[in-house]
C-alpha cells in the first residue's frame, strides 16, 4: 500500500531533500503541492514532476492523499497541521513545530485524538554519526557522561537569507532555526532531557528586525550532564562538531551538524583512539522510511511530535533566558492541554 503525499509549502528544503527522500521509498508517491500562489505552485509542480498544484489548504486536503509534509514558514505550521490532522492525514512537520511549545502541544494532542501519526523533521537523529555516538554512550564506552559541546554555527546560504533574518512574525532567528536541532540532537545522543538553559544571543550584522543571528547556550540535563552549544548564521569558516566527554572516554565528532551523511566520530579512551564507523545513508530518506513504517503501525517517526515539543520548549527557554539574563527551566509540559 503506497503512501500518497501532499506537500504544504513550495519550499527549498522540499526541493533539495524531501521530494527525493519520499520518492526513494518503495511506497512513496507525491500527489500534490500547495503554495500560497497558484503560479508558484504550478511552476514548482512542473519543475518537480508533481501532478497536482493548488493554492489553498482545502484543495490540498481534498486531494487523494494520506499524509502531508509541512515546510512553510514557521508561523503557518500550527494552523496547517491542525487542519490536516482534522482531515485525517498523517503529518510530518518541519521544525519548529509552531511558534510556542503550547501550540506544538496542541498539535500533539490533536494527532493523538485523531489517531494519525505526527512527526517532527529533526533530520540529525537519522545521521549515522549521531546514532554511532548514541550507541557508544548507551553501551558505556565513555563511562558516565559528564559534559557535551555542540558547534553548530554556520553561514546562512544567500538563497536562504530571507524570512529567517528579517521576519520575527514568521518565526525567524537562529534559535528557532538551529537551537531546536541542537536541543533534539543533545537529547537523542545523550539519551537524557534538558532541565535548564542559560543563553546569550547576538545580532552580528546579518539579521535585522530585532532577530538574533548568533546564540550561545549552556544547558543542564536531568542526569547532571552540562552542555554548551553555539548556533549562528554568520560564521563562514567555523565548521561544525559535537563532543561528549565522560568519565572513561571522550567522543569527538567533526562536520556532523549538517544535512549530509558526512563527518567523522573519534572515540578516545585509556586504550587510545578509535574512529567509529557508521552508515552513510541519506538522513531524510531514513527519516521518511521510519515515518512510513509508523503509518503502517510499525514503531514511531524518528523524531515524534513530543520530541518537537521538547526542542521548541528548549528554544523558547533559551530566548527567554537571553531576554531576562537569567537561567530558565525547560518544561515541555507547560503547554499541555491534558
Ligand atoms: P523557503 O524560504 O524556501 O520556503 C518557505 C516558504 O517561502 C515557502 O513555503 C514559500 O511559500 C515561500 N517562498 C519560497 N520561495 C519563494 C519565492 N521565490 N517567492 C515567494 N515566496 C517564496 O524555506 P526553507 O525551505 O528554508 O524552510 C521551510 C521550513 O523548513 C521552515 O520551517 C524551516 O525551519 C524548515 N527547514 C528544516 C530543515 C531541516 O533540515 N529539518 C532545513 C531547512 C528548513 P509558498 O509555499 O506559499 O509558495
The CA 44 to ligand 1 mean position distance, Å, reads 12
Alpha-carbon distance of 119 to 301, in angstroms, equals: 6
Alpha-carbon distance of 166 to 293, in angstroms, equals: 38
Return the ligand 1 atom nearest residue 41 CA.
48
Find out whether 5 and 61 touch, Cβ atoms under 8 Å: no
Q: Which of 6, 12, 122 to mutate to test the pocket of ligand 1 (most atoms within 8 A of CB)?
A: 12
Query: Does the beta carbon of 120 sit less than 6 angstroms from any atom of ligand 1?
Result: no
Return the ligand 1 atom nearest residue 77 CA.
32
Return the ligand 1 atom nearest residue 71 CA.
29
**Average pLDDT in the 54-67 region?**
98
- Which residues are paired to 201 by β-bridges? 215
pTM score over 0.85:
yes
The 3-class SS string of 58-98 reads: HHHHHCCCCEEEECCCHHHHHHHHHHHHHCCCEEEECCCCC
Query: Does the beta carbon of 240 sit less than 6 angstroms from any atom of ligand 1?
Result: no
Residue whose CA is closest, atom 8 of ligand 1? 11
Tens digits of per-residue pLDDT, 169-223? 999 999 999 999 999 999 999 999 999 999 999 999 999 999 999 999 999 999 9
Cα distances (angstroms) measured from residue 323 to each of 127, 300, 327, 331: 33, 36, 10, 18
The CA 10 to ligand 1 mean position distance, Å, reads 7
Query: Does the beta carbon of 290 sit less than 6 angstroms from any atom of ligand 1?
Result: no
Output the pLDDT for position 78: 98
Residues 6+ apart with CB under 8 A from 38: 53, 54, 55
Complete domains list, the chain, with CATH: 3-123+285-303 (3.40.50.720), 127-281+313-329 (3.30.360.10)
Alpha-carbon distance of 120 to 287, in angstroms, equals: 10
Query: Does the beta carbon of 311 sit less than 6 angstroms from any atom of ligand 1?
Result: no
Cα distances (angstroms) measured from residue 221 to each of 15, 153, 260, 313: 36, 22, 28, 14
Q: Is pLDDT of 58 > 60?
A: yes
User: For residue 157, which phi and psi values (nearest 5 degrees)?
Assistant: -60, 150
Return the ligand 1 atom nearest residue 72 CA.
9
Tens digits of per-residue pLDDT, 243-278? 999 999 999 999 999 999 999 999 999 999 999 999
Kindly report the average pLDDT of the chain as a whole number: 97
The CA 338 to ligand 1 mean position distance, Å, reads 32
Residue whose CA is closest, atom 28 of ligand 1? 71
Cα distances (angstroms) measured from residue 213 to each of 74, 151, 210: 17, 15, 10
Output the pLDDT for position 334: 65
The CA 11 to ligand 1 mean position distance, Å, reads 4
The CA 291 to ligand 1 mean position distance, Å, reads 21
Query: Does the beta carbon of 258 sit less than 6 angstroms from any atom of ligand 1?
Result: no
Output the pLDDT for position 337: 43
Amino acid at each position: 500500500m503506497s503512501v500518497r503525499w501532499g506537500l504544504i509549502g513550495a519550499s527549498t528544503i522540499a526541493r533539495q531533500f524531501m521530494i527525493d527522500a519520499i520518492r526513494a521509498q518503495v511506497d512513496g508517491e507525491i500527489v500534490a503541492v500547495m503554495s500560497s500562489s497558484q503560479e508558484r505552485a504550478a511552476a514548482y509542480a512542473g519543475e518537480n514532476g508533481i501532478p497536482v498544484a493548488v493554492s489553498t489548504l482545502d484543495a490540498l486536503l481534498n486531494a487523494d492523499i494520506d499524509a502531508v509534509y509541512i515546510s512553510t514558514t514557521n508561523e503557518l505550521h500550527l494552523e496547517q497541521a491542525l487542519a490536516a490532522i482534522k482531515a485525517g492525514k498523517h503529518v510530518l512537520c518541519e521544525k519548529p513545530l509552531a511558534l510556542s511549545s503550547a501550540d506544538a502541544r496542541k498539535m500533539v494532542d490533536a494527532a493523538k485524538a485523531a489517531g494519525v501519526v505526527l512527526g517532527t523533521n529533526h533530520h540529525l537523529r537519522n545521521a549515522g554519526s549521531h546514532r554511532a555516538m548514541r550507541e557508544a554512550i548507551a553501551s558505556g564506552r565513555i563511562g558516565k557522561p559528564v559534559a557535551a559541546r555542540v558547534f553548530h554555527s554556520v553561514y546562512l546560504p544567500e538563497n536562504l537569507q530571507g524570512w529567517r533574518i528579517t521576519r520575527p512574525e514568521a518565526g525567524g532567528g537562529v534559535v528557532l532555526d538551529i537551537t531546536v536541532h541542537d536541543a533534539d540532537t543533545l537529547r537523542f545522543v545523550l539519551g537524557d532531557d534538558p532541565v535548564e538553559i542559560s543563553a546569550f544571543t547576538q545580532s552580528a550584522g546579518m539579521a535585522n528586525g530585532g532577530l538574533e543571528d548568533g546564540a550561545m547556550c549552556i544547558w543542564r540535563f536531568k542526569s547532571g550532564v552540562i552542555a554548551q552549544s553555539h548556533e549562528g548564521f554568520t560564521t563562514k569558516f567555523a565548521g561544525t562538531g559535537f563532543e561528549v566527554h565522560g568519565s572513561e572516554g571522550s567522543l569527538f565528532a567533526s562536520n556532523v551538524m549538517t544535512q549530509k551523511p558526512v563527518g567523522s566520530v573519534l572515540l578516545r579512551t585509556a586504550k587510545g583512539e578509535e574512529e567509529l564507523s557508521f552508515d552513510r545513508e541519506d538522513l531524510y530518506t531514513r527519516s521518511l522510511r521510519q515515518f512510513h513504517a509508523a503509518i503502517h503501525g510499525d514503531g514511531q517517526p524518528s523524531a515524534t511530535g513530543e520530541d518537537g515539543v521538547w526542542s521548541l520548549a528548549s528554544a523558547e527557554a533559551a530566548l527567554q533566558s537571553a531576554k531576562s539574563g537569567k537561567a530558565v527551566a525547560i518544561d515541555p509540559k507547560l503547554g499541555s492541554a491534558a
